[in-house]
Amino acid sequence: MMSNAILSIQDLQVNYGGIEAVKGISFDVPEGEIVTLIGANGAGKSSTLRTIAGLVKPKSGTITYMGEDITGKDPTAIVTKGITLVPEGRRIFPDLTVKENLKLGAYTRKDDLSDDINWVFDLFPRLKEREWQAGGTLSGGEQQMLAVGRALMSRPKIMMMDEPSLGLAPLVVRGIFDIIKEVNKQGVTVLLIEQNANMALKTAHKGYVLETGRITMSGSGAKLLADESVKAAYLGT
Amino acid sequence: MEHQLNRKKMSSGALITVIVTVILLVAVIVLENTMNANSMLFTVLKKAAVYSLVAVSLNLVNGFTGLFSLGQAGFMLLGAYTYGILTIPAEMRESVYYIYQGSAINFSLQGLFQGLFGTAGVGGAIGLILGVLLAIILAGLVAAGFAYLIGLPVLRLKSDYLAIATLGFAEIIRAVFQWDKLGRVTNGANMLKGFPTFSSFNIKDASGAVAVRLSAFMPLLIAALCIFVIILLINSSYGRAFKAIREDEIAAEAMGINLAKHKQMSFCISSFFSGVAGALFAMFAATVQARSFTSAMTYEILLIVVIGGIGSVSGSVLASFLYIFCSEWWLRFLDSGALPFGNISVPFFRNGFRMVVFSVIIMIIVLFFRRGIMGTNEFSDLINQTRRKAKTKKEAAE
């Protein structure tokens, strides 16, 4: 185990809907870095994130966060500790305003939120313009900004993102990855899962390749990008 | 303290809504004491007050939390019975429970308080008010307690399944309260009566004549206060969590919102206020009988919520008043065989025709207002919007 790992997964096994979605994986997320899990549909990426977030209970294995075992804790406790999930498909609250969406991100906090709301509005000036608009009326890219902003409202140490580029135009995807880098620069560790392996590996410090519930390869983003088998399987070149 | 008040400043729309509500309440007192007290207006006002509270409580769970619950009549029944059983005066019990040779409970709450403050004059009034208030609160708590117990298994269900389970609960409760073996408490299938009603709150002078009439004001005041509490809840962080659960359970859970806890909370609070409304309904009807709390009653309330707008408190209140006024008063002439003016008799105006016309009106409303009269807006939102528009217009003109 690396000494600077903020999050460490050991032999994680997850059964999901009767099938073995994750078959004993181990990986580390070093503090302050962007780490990505790439893999095809059904490789077990989402199940891994959902398990870390506490939405799914693992069959076996341990999840260690800042030296503490958080395996099987409920989502409220995990969000309070500083791990937050940007769910797949953004899942913003469509009938609530942008501001209400942001406030809900800070649900586990009871202190003053005005500084954090301003911080999010600085990161995403577009959201400031749309403050009183219903979340469902935003464009896809703006909704993704809102989903990220909402997650940041809990003041996370680790932000986990499930397919942030899903269903977005290529130009918007580039914008989202710029946001991810910016958020990371501000001190938030990012765990990212993506099918868009090209963008993900270019952005990430470290990457893991997940295939049918197992980690088959790992290394720096640049190293994986150059790897012939990764190229063939995920980059389509 | 002042700083906090400033930060949580009410919108002007909310302020105007509160002021208008207070003016209307005062107007009711004035009308009650100047108009003919037997006017149909006051009967429908009382009933509409009760219905608006149930409708808002159903809206809290259906419209704001997204739980399709249909147990409202059952919770009202629990509230009505709790109120009746606890407030029938001791001396009346023998005659009310004559089939079961007396009641198992031989005191009334207002009787207990009147034991402390005396039965005559101001002391008697204080005893009555405290006893009735305590009984109303207990009515709510009993309903909430039952809601908690059935919520434990039932709230795991979703949408239609939850609706069926809660509807079943209401039917079972109704049957249980008519059970002979409980006769000494519930009076079986017979009615409870003799407890204080709204007209007990009319202030009488020494000779026993009514000096100040408050019988329509009382239910409106209680309903308004309860609805105000529900509005505060909806606008708190709990209310925001309820809405989040309605919109997207997975996202809500990912934000750290404990789904089971919040669903249970919304369900119990909604049932509490349904129980309170049940007690008010008992006071309105002056009798309690399990037979009157049918599933048709729940559907009536659901209809009000849908007409008013699922997710709008203002809509539920507005729709309750319109619904009760139409069905009980304004459309009555359709059953009577004659038009309300002149002396024209219309052959097809006979018993039941009112409901035909009423159904057509409801269909038209549902067709033209797909999301109910108010949608998810509140009165205060509409006022704020018009003010904002007027302001921008003014600025544009300058």
Give tens-digit pLDDT for B85-133. Answer: 999 998 888 888 888 888 888 888 888 888 888 777 788 888 899 999 9
- Taking the Cβ of residue B252 and every Cβ of chain A, the question of whether any pair is shorter than 8 Å is answered with yes
- Taking the Cβ of residue A104 and every Cβ of chain B, the question of whether any pair is shorter than 8 Å is answered with yes
Of B237, B243, B250, the CB nearest to A96: B243
- Taking the Cβ of residue B255 and every Cβ of chain A, the question of whether any pair is shorter than 8 Å is answered with yes
- Residue A148's closest chain B neighbor by CA? B255
Q: CB B237 to CB A103 under 8 A?
A: yes
For residues B22, B28, B31 and B36, what is the CA-based torsion angle, rounded to 10 degrees? 180
pLDDT score at B92: 86
Residues 194-213 of B with CB under 8 A from A: none
Model confidence at B84: pLDDT above 80: yes
Size of interface A-B (CB pairs under 8 A): 67
- Taking the Cβ of residue A105 and every Cβ of chain B, the question of whether any pair is shorter than 8 Å is answered with yes
Q: How far is B55 from chain A (nearest CA, A)?
A: 22
pLDDT score at B231: 94
Model confidence at B254: pLDDT above 60: yes
Model confidence at A51: pLDDT above 80: yes
Reported residue count of chain B is 398
- Residue B4's closest chain A neighbor by CA? A112
- Taking the Cβ of residue A100 and every Cβ of chain B, the question of whether any pair is shorter than 8 Å is answered with yes
pLDDT score at B117: 81
- Taking the Cβ of residue A93 and every Cβ of chain B, the question of whether any pair is shorter than 8 Å is answered with yes
Model confidence at B2: pLDDT above 80: no
Lowest-pLDDT choice from A119-133, B32-46, B335-349: B335-349
Query: Is there a domain that residue B134 lies in?
Result: yes
pLDDT score at B4: 38
Q: Residues near B305 by Cβ (< 8 Å), separated by ≥ 6? A: B55, B58, B59, B62, B63, B315, B316, B319, B372
B175 neighbors B78 (Cβ within 8 angstroms): no
- Chain B interface disruption, residue of A50, A104, A152, most B CBs within 10 A: A104
pLDDT score at A34: 94
Query: Is there a domain that residue B398 lies in?
Result: no
Of B248, B255, B311, the CB nearest to A107: B255
Model confidence at A57: pLDDT above 50: yes
- Taking the Cβ of residue A84 and every Cβ of chain B, the question of whether any pair is shorter than 8 Å is answered with yes
Strand pairing class (A214-220; A34-38): unpaired
Nearest to B258 by CA among A80, A91, A151, A157: A80
Q: How far is A87 from chain B (nearest CA, A)?
A: 7
pLDDT score at B33: 87
> Cα–Cα distance between B241 and A100 in angstroms, integer?
10
pLDDT score at B121: 76
In the structure encoding, which two tokens stand for residue B174, read together? 């109704």
Chain A residues with CB under 8 Å of B253 CB are 55, 75
The model's pLDDT over A124-141, given as tens digits with 9 standing for 90+, comes to 999 999 988 999 999 988
Model confidence at B307: pLDDT above 60: yes
Chain B residues with CB under 8 Å of A94 CB are 247-248
pLDDT score at A237: 56
Nearest to B352 by CA among B322, B332, B338, B366: B332
Q: How far is A148 from chain B (nearest CA, A)?
A: 12
Chain B residues with CB under 8 Å of A84 CB are 254
What separation in angstroms does the CA of B365 have from each of B7, B48, B314, B319, B345?
Answer: 40, 19, 17, 11, 28
- Taking the Cβ of residue B392 and every Cβ of chain A, the question of whether any pair is shorter than 8 Å is answered with no
In the structure encoding, which two tokens stand for residue B279, read together? 């007690």
φ/ψ (deg, to 5) at B385: -65, -45
Beta strands, E only, B227-298: 287-288
The model's pLDDT over B171-182, given as tens digits with 9 standing for 90+, comes to 999 999 998 888
- Residue B238's closest chain A neighbor by CA? A107
Q: pLDDT class for B44, splitting at 50, 70, 90?
A: very high
DSSP 8-state symbol, A97: B
Residues 358-387 of B with CB under 8 A from A: 376
Average pLDDT over residues A183-204: 90
Query: Is there a domain that residue B285 lies in?
Result: yes
- Taking the Cβ of residue A80 and every Cβ of chain B, the question of whether any pair is shorter than 8 Å is answered with yes
- Chain B interface disruption, residue of A93, A148, A150, most B CBs within 10 A: A93
Q: CB A103 to CB B255 under 8 A?
A: no
Q: How far is B371 from chain A (nearest CA, A)?
A: 13
In the structure encoding, which two tokens stand for residue A139, read together? 């464009």
Query: Is there a domain that residue B27 lies in?
Result: yes
- Taking the Cβ of residue B241 and every Cβ of chain A, the question of whether any pair is shorter than 8 Å is answered with yes
- Taking the Cβ of residue A97 and every Cβ of chain B, the question of whether any pair is shorter than 8 Å is answered with no
- Chain A interface disruption, residue of B4, B64, B255, most A CBs within 10 A: B255
What is the Cα B74 distance to its own chain's centre?
13
Model confidence at A199: pLDDT above 90: no
Reported residue count of chain A is 237
In the structure encoding, which two tokens stand for residue A111, read together? 């202190």
The model's pLDDT over B255-284, given as tens digits with 9 standing for 90+, comes to 999 999 999 999 999 999 999 999 999 999
pLDDT score at A3: 53
> Cα–Cα distance between A125 and A84 in angstroms, integer?
22
pTM of the model: 0.89
**Total tally of structural domains belonging to chain B:** 1
Query: Is there a domain that residue B8 lies in?
Result: no
Of B237, B258, B376, the CB nearest to A76: B258
φ/ψ (deg, to 5) at B37: -65, -20
The domain containing residue B84 runs over which residues?
13-31+41-393
B321 neighbors B330 (Cβ within 8 angstroms): no
In the structure encoding, which two tokens stand for residue B345, read together? 């008799």
Query: Is there a domain that residue B179 lies in?
Result: yes
Query: Is there a domain that residue B2 lies in?
Result: no
Query: Is there a domain that residue B233 lies in?
Result: yes
Of B244, B247, B256, the CB nearest to A76: B256
- Taking the Cβ of residue B237 and every Cβ of chain A, the question of whether any pair is shorter than 8 Å is answered with yes
pLDDT score at A1: 42
Lowest-pLDDT choice from A65-79, B299-313, B326-340: B326-340
- Taking the Cβ of residue A115 and every Cβ of chain B, the question of whether any pair is shorter than 8 Å is answered with no
Average pLDDT over residues B308-334: 88
pLDDT score at A160: 94
Q: pLDDT class for B185, splitting at 50, 70, 90?
A: confident
CATH number of the domain at A5-235, please?
3.40.50.300
pLDDT score at B337: 67
- Taking the Cβ of residue A87 and every Cβ of chain B, the question of whether any pair is shorter than 8 Å is answered with yes
- Taking the Cβ of residue A53 and every Cβ of chain B, the question of whether any pair is shorter than 8 Å is answered with yes
Q: pLDDT class for B9, splitting at 50, 70, 90?
A: low
φ/ψ (deg, to 5) at A52: -65, -40
Model confidence at A70: pLDDT above 70: yes
Model confidence at A43: pLDDT above 70: yes
Q: CB B256 to CB A91 under 8 A?
A: no
Lowest-pLDDT choice from A2-11, A108-117, B76-85: A2-11
